[in-house]
Amino acid sequence: MNIVFFGSSHFAVPSLEAASNAGYNISCVVTQPDRKMGRHLYLESTAIKKLSNELGIEIFQSQDINSEESLNFLRGLNADLFVVISYGQILSKEILGLPKKIALNSHASLLPKYRGAAPINWAIIRGEKITGITIIKMTERLDAGPIISKKEIEIFNNDTSLILKEKLSHLAAEMLLETIRDIEKNDYQLTLQDESRVTLAPKLKKEDGLINWNSCSKEIYNLVRGSLIWPGAFTYYKGKMLKIYEAGVCESSGLPGQIIQVSKEGIIAAAARGGLIIKELQIEGKRRMSAGEFIAGHKINIGERFVLDQSIAYII
Query: If 0-12 CB within 10 Å is exposed, 13-18 middle and 19+ buried, where does residue 134 land?
Result: buried
Q: What is the pLDDT of residue 283?
A: 96
- Contact (CB, 8 A) for 157 and 202: no
Q: What is the pLDDT of residue 310?
A: 74
Cβ-proximal residues to 248 (8 Å cutoff; 6+ apart), any chain: 221, 266, 276, 277, 279
CA atoms within 13 Å, Cβ hemisphere of 38: 7
pLDDT tens for each residue of 147-205: 999 999 999 999 999 999 999 999 999 999 999 999 999 999 999 999 999 999 999 99
* Extents of the domains making up the chain: 2-197, 206-297
Of 88, 107, 87, which Cα lies nearest the Cα of 4?
87
Backbone Cα Rg of the chain: 23
CA distance 250 to 264: 16
The residues that bridge with 5 in the sheet, in sequence order, are: 29, 83
Does the domain made of 2-197 have the CATH classification 1.10.287.4070? no
Which three-class secondary structure state does DSSP give residue 263? strand
315 has a pLDDT exceeding 70: no
The torsion region of residue 148 among left (phi > 0), alpha (psi -120 to 50) and beta comes to alpha
292 has a pLDDT exceeding 80: yes
Please state which of the four CATH numbers 3.30.70.3270, 1.20.58.220, 3.10.25.10, 3.40.50.300 is assigned to the domain occupying 206-297: 3.10.25.10
pTM of the complete model: 0.95
The DSSP bridge pattern shows strands 81-85 and 2-7 to be: parallel
Q: What is the pLDDT of residue 158?
A: 96
Of 68, 132, 142, 77, which Cα lies nearest the Cα of 105?
142
The residues that bridge with 130 in the sheet, in sequence order, are: 154
Q: Do domains 2-197 and 206-297 have the same CATH topology?
A: no
pLDDT tens for each residue of 19-72: 999 999 999 999 999 998 776 678 899 999 999 999 999 999 999 999 999 999
CA distance 297 to 194: 54
